[in-house]
Structure 1
Amino acid sequence: MLEGLRVLACGARDAVKLCATLLERAGAAVDFAATDSMDYDVIVISSDVDDVADWKASGTHIVCDITATGPQDSRAGQPFTDAQVQAMSGLMDTTGFAHGAPACIGIALTEISAALYAASAIASAVRVKRRRGIAQNIDVTLMGCAASALTTFLPAAFARRTAGRVGNRHPACAPWNAYRTRDGWILICTSTEEQWRKLRQEARVPQLDDARFATLADRVRQADALDALMETWTTTLSTGDCTRICERIGVAAGPIVGIGELHREPNFRMRHPEAARAIEADGIGADTYRRVSVFAMSALSEAVAVLKPETRESIDAAPLAGVKVIEIGQYTTAPLVGKHLAALGAQVVKIEPPEGEVARSWAPGQGGTSYFFALNNTDKETIALDLKQEDDRAYLRTLLEDADVLVENLRPGALAKLGFTRETLGAINPRLVYCSISGFGIASAYPSRPAFDTVIQAMGGLMDLTRSEGAPVKIGASGADILGGQAALFAIVARLASSTRDAGAFIEISMQDVAAWCALFAAGKAESRGQALACLDGHIWTEGDVSDAQRARCITQPKAVAARLMEHAVPVMRVDELLEDGDFLADILSAARDANGVFWPVLKLPYRLTKTPARVRAVPGAPRAVRRAPPAPAPAPVPEDRPA
């Protein structure tokens, strides 16, 4: 992949260290201190924290600068911490229980996200340099990464609504929460009417058949009553029994796993036995996370690849110009990958079921399409296929014949059951890069268990590290989904940047692996200090010492004033307030059009390449139905010979 790449990482931010770790995992040689004897291809810095040399002016290196805010932000150059960025971006206000204060996410989410996006942007720039000889600079901002994680909360803001904290719920789906069991807690997550029907039938609680729960929108509005009725069922069962029932009927569910017990979690122990033994013997240290990889790569099949003829690209073409991607995904993970591959210049063809992806219908939106879907699916061609039908599977095979990448987040084995095994894909296209994203991985202790973001957060250690009033709570944003998608994006782009790519590849992403990698990195660091203080109109986040007098004064002041009066303090922004914030409007929010010329609010990318920029341009319309030739008419019957 990135073998032969020489990287210098000389920034103090966690994002710099983690980005270097990812590049190293992909084959690059990394130094953390400059040497006279080595000439570097890539240099990763954090100029708002460190006094670093002006590498950007050299013109000979790929230089990636990871900072808190962008150059158009009025606060540019200030060395904000991850927690301060969480507060200023709205992320913190989405995390915690509705009745409590905003909760700081227990991992450095914006630093980790910046590391993953920076690694993908660097791999893109490496591809450009290897193919066209162009070196360029890259800017990555923590604020941009934070905003990119708000796709489940920004739609309400676009509709001029306030999206408050939902604890362990989902703002657009129900039932979706942590429920008490006979011996603990279980996360149960539903997103479709079929899942709700099966769960209702299994629970056998008559009130769940009420008309007030008839539609998804009804269930979201009646979430308090719905959750109370759900617990009349779950409290009769053990956590294990409830989990097994949900697995049997295809509903995502799982227990909350403590970070100190992660090495005993069956799937983690199966997939990472060396890491589990090390934690059991020595506990979690600063480098324990390095024993867990965020992706696995192997040969697609034994078929011999025939290289695709290279097309001549213009000097300023996007990094992935000429790359064709097939996406079979829904919700967040695979769509996030496809969105960024499209922004980087790839032709992305998204396969949807005939009725369209479920997330299209989530409120709010416009013209029959949700803002959520629009945010996650920009710049794609969309095609409707029923993959249960042979004609539609044949059409997909045709699409795959000249594709470079296939990315999907179906349940493990689902694509194979449709006839698209790794061996079959290798026979169709031996040079294909096939990326499978799933909750627990292909080789798993839970081969038939579905998984959603909240379940993975619970079973990957993230919820245990994130606490609201002492209780474990999920990251408000879909942290496990987003981080899993980012890991897949990096692995795919790194493979496309390989200078020796002569065969297909299979990339496996387990969202639990990625969550555990993040949780172990956080657990191996010293805890950061800070607290949210109540103000007249919300909260501020401070990392300084706070006296009782200061705490009392905060309550009488608006948060903008209180933040100015206290050292190391910033306001905790609500997501809807971002749309009135000049910095957010200037540096993060953008607009795209659909095929009818209608404008949609979208987000700028959190990474900026100076010479071959990635761009967000368009929102797709309804999926296009594939036109097929009508069946040939049946031959006319031959008259029978009859006696005269």
Structure 2
Amino acid sequence: MDVTAGSWVAAESVGARAIVDRPLAGVVVRTRGGSLALRVAVERLRALGCEVGADGTPPPAGAPAGWLGVVAAPFGGPGEALPECGISWSGPVGLPMANERDVQAACGIAHVHGRASGGPRALRLDYASVCAGVLTAQALTAALLALLRGGTALAVRTSVAQAALLALTQYLAVATGERSDPPFPRAAREGHGRPPFRSADGVWFEVETFEAERWLRFWAVLGAGPRAVAVGWPAFQQRFATATCVLPSELVDVAAAVRFPDVVAAGAECGVSVLPVRAADAPLVPAPASPWRLRGLSGVAGPALPPLARDVRRPLAGLLVVESTNRVQGPLAGHVLGLLGADVVRLEPPGGDPLRGVPPMAGPTSARFLALNRGKRALEADLKSGAGRRAALRLVADAHVFLHNWPPGRAGAYGLDHDDLAPVRPSLVYAQAGGWAEALPPPQPMGTDYLVQAYSGVAALLAGPGEVAAPSLMTLTDVLGALISAEAVVAALVARARTGTGVRAETALIDAARLLRATAAPAATGPLNAVTVTDLAVMAHDPAFADVLDHTPHAVYSRAPWTFAPAAHPEEAP
């Protein structure tokens, strides 16, 4: 059955290009409530083409943080139920929560963010609410995709607490994995410090490299002794996993004796990225017209997306996603697509992704790796070789989505750019999860979380009065960037279903930073909720979290942040 045949007519009348730019054109949504999570969802749905308005009534009792209901769509049968979504604060978590600070305290965000400073500390951003808003828009868009594929109308339930737990899933896995070493690095005997560093001329800055040799050369050029450099490397390398970074004070002192232009020059010489920590209102390149940079790839219509059976509840079931990703942003984006029902296959280098072996372990595989990649299949292929590229092309020929987070230029070097894949799969959704997009000119610095926080002004938003602006060592833009990337894929799939043609979606960590800046508001102060997590391993075994966490024999992970069930008919809707 060609489930997109009817919607193809609608796409022709509006124009395929317009549908790609605004995949939800013609959809009308009504809302109830006023939380930040709801407001974020509304703005994202509007950017996708929805007409959204408030109906002026309070949200239903089960959705105190907001409710959205589709009241009209240019697809689906007449008189049928339409998708809706309710947002709560606690969701299935058995603890009372009524605001962002409650969620940050009770679900571990304050604990992870506060590790670097010695105790639980709330983020001065409503981070969990922003994540929940993106997940809400994403889920409602996925429910509309289910309608396009002939499935039943779905009712979505999500919560700010579930968004927070998804954001922490890698830290939760690390805290509950099989451990032989202390969970966090100890301070060096001769004193300690942490990034960012302050130069001799008063510039605070962040550095980034994934290679020990470059780290060694960089600090040697600045004048640091080899012992301090060697002691500092493990803590610096592991900060993405531990949310701490205890460095020898010698490195801080060495940086303080060098002018910032000379630090930048040393970075350029050694292949280490160096960026200043900028103010919260630092100018950024104007945002693109679409947060997802959607554009059509070809005018050739491919086969319809496979139909979705009426009894299937996961909107992306039956769709194949091929990903070639590493670290956090890309793998988590693929993981979210898998939670929505997609079959996800990873392309990994010969011998497998090196992160599979990074402790703590969960059986034979890294707990942190599994937090981002559970349920995915894997195919090993050397993409630098002709044989590996051919293996990738064979896999993509049957795929609906190809997702990567390679640095600029690598897709072309592999012969796997969108133009290379279009002849193989004209109707492919080609998704790139990058770092900087158009925000910085080439050659760009490494597109990683802490550099993006520093340069974008997010680090400054986190600082309290009189405090030095410093990025949170919790991976804020990596996680939110992953959610935005998955959101882009779902939106592109809707455009592909309505037009029949391939779509490119490009997102970046800087998009997450822009969203955090746009939603920043004066932070609440005062003590945290009395229910404040101080140990993720203890939280993992708290019965209050039993319905939102997956307990395996080796580690604990967060579950999907939403549930899907058949939607009520209009006369039965809340």
Q: Does 1:483 align with 2:444?
A: no
Q: Does 1:188 align with 2:149?
A: no
Aligned to 2:277: 256
Aligned to 2:300: 305
Q: Out of 428, 435, 447, which is 1:432 matched to?
A: 428
Q: Is the 8 A contact 2:38 2:67 kept in 1?
A: no
Q: Out of 378, 398, 402, which is 2:398 matched to?
A: 402
Q: Is the 8 A contact 1:487 1:509 kept in 2?
A: yes
Aligned residue pairs, count: 526
- Could you say which structure has the greater relative contact order, defined with CA pairs below 8 angstroms and 6 or more residues apart? 2
Q: Is the 8 A contact 1:294 1:510 kept in 2?
A: no
CA–CA separation in structure 2 for the residues paired with 1:163 and 1:519? 35
CA–CA separation in structure 1 for the residues paired with 2:46 and 2:238? 46
Q: Deviations over 1:369-388 (max 9, x none)?
A: 21110000011111222211
Aligned to 2:87: 66
Aligned to 1:18: 40
CA–CA separation in structure 2 for the residues paired with 1:334 and 1:610? 28
1:20-419 pair list within 5 angstroms: 20-33=42-55, 47-49=62-64, 60-71=81-92, 73-75=93-95, 78=96, 80-96=98-114, 98-159=116-177, 177-183=195-201, 184-199=203-218, 202-203=221-222, 205-208=224-227, 226-243=247-264, 245-247=266-268, 249-260=270-281, 262-263=282-283, 268-269=284-285, 271-272=286-287, 294-300=291-297, 303-317=298-312, 318-419=314-415
Aligned to 2:499: 501
Q: Out of 444, 457, 460, which is 2:456 matched to?
A: 460
Cα 1:102/1:164, change in 2 over 3 Å: farther
Q: Secondary structure at the match of 1:372?
A: helix
Q: Does 1:589 align with 2:544?
A: no
Q: Secondary structure at the match of 1:117?
A: helix
CA–CA separation in structure 2 for the residues paired with 1:368 and 1:131? 39
Aligned to 1:9: 31
Cα 1:325/1:240, change in 2 over 3 Å: farther
Aligned to 2:532: 571
Question: Could you tell me how far 1:600 is from its partner in structure 2?
Answer: 4.5
Q: Deviations over 1:442-476 (max 9, x none)?
A: 57324331121111111222211112672323334
Q: Is the 8 A contact 1:456 1:515 kept in 2?
A: yes
Q: Deviations over 1:6-53 (max 9, x none)?
A: 111222211111101111111111112369xxxxxxx99784537989
Q: Secondary structure at the match of 2:422?
A: helix
Question: Could you tell me how far 1:153 is from its partner in structure 2?
Answer: 2.3
Q: Secondary structure at the match of 1:153?
A: helix
Cα 1:123/1:214, change in 2 over 3 Å: closer
Cα 1:103/1:218, change in 2 over 3 Å: closer
Opposite residue 293 of structure 2, the aligned amino acid is A
CA–CA separation in structure 2 for the residues paired with 1:66 and 1:51? 5
CA–CA separation in structure 1 for the residues paired with 2:260 and 2:507? 27
Cα 1:79/1:403, change in 2 over 3 Å: same
Cα 1:53/1:333, change in 2 over 3 Å: closer
Q: Secondary structure at the match of 2:440?
A: coil
Q: Out of 498, 517, 520, which is 2:518 matched to?
A: 520
Q: Secondary structure at the match of 1:509?
A: strand
Cα 1:128/1:402, change in 2 over 3 Å: same
Q: Deviations over 1:224-262 (max 9, x none)?
A: 8844343354334333443454356443432211112x2
TM-score normalized by the length of structure 2: 0.82
Cα 1:365/1:8, change in 2 over 3 Å: same
Q: Is the 8 A contact 1:212 1:218 kept in 2?
A: no
Instruction: Between 100-109 and 133-142, report the one with greater CA deviation.
Output: 100-109
CA–CA separation in structure 1 for the residues paired with 2:245 and 2:37? 39
Opposite residue 91 of structure 1, the aligned amino acid is I
Cα 1:443/1:504, change in 2 over 3 Å: farther
Q: Is the 8 A contact 2:172 2:540 kept in 1?
A: no
Q: Is the 8 A contact 2:31 2:52 kept in 1?
A: yes
Q: Secondary structure at the match of 1:472?
A: coil
Aligned to 1:631: none
Q: Deviations over 1:152-175 (max 9, x none)?
A: 4223420487998999x9xxxx99
Question: Could you tell me how far 1:215 is from its partner in structure 2?
Answer: 6.4
Instruction: Between 503-512 and 15-24, report the one with greater CA deviation.
Output: 503-512
Question: Could you tell me how far 1:312 is from its partner in structure 2?
Answer: 4.2
Question: Could you tell me how far 1:186 is from its partner in structure 2?
Answer: 1.3
Q: Deviations over 1:416-462 (max 9, x none)?
A: 12222332222332211111111111573243311211111112222
TM-score normalized by the length of structure 1: 0.73
Q: Is the 8 A contact 1:175 1:189 kept in 2?
A: no
Opposite residue 497 of structure 1, the aligned amino acid is V
RMSD between aligned alpha carbons?
3.6
CA–CA separation in structure 1 for the residues paired with 2:432 and 2:61? 33
Q: Deviations over 1:285-320 (max 9, x none)?
A: xxxxxx8753211223xx442412443443223311
CA–CA separation in structure 2 for the residues paired with 1:294 and 1:15? 17
CA–CA separation in structure 2 for the residues paired with 1:449 and 1:432? 30
Q: Does 1:580 align with 2:541?
A: yes
Q: Secondary structure at the match of 1:500?
A: helix
CA–CA separation in structure 2 for the residues paired with 1:105 and 1:67? 20
Question: Could you tell me how far 1:528 is from its partner in structure 2?
Answer: 3.6
Q: Deviations over 1:49-79 (max 9, x none)?
A: 37989999x98232211111124x333xx55
Opposite residue 209 of structure 2, the aligned amino acid is T
Gaps of 5+ in 2: 1-22, 72-78, 568-574
Q: Is the 8 A contact 1:10 1:33 kept in 2?
A: yes
Q: Is the 8 A contact 2:548 2:559 kept in 1?
A: yes
Cα 1:351/1:216, change in 2 over 3 Å: farther
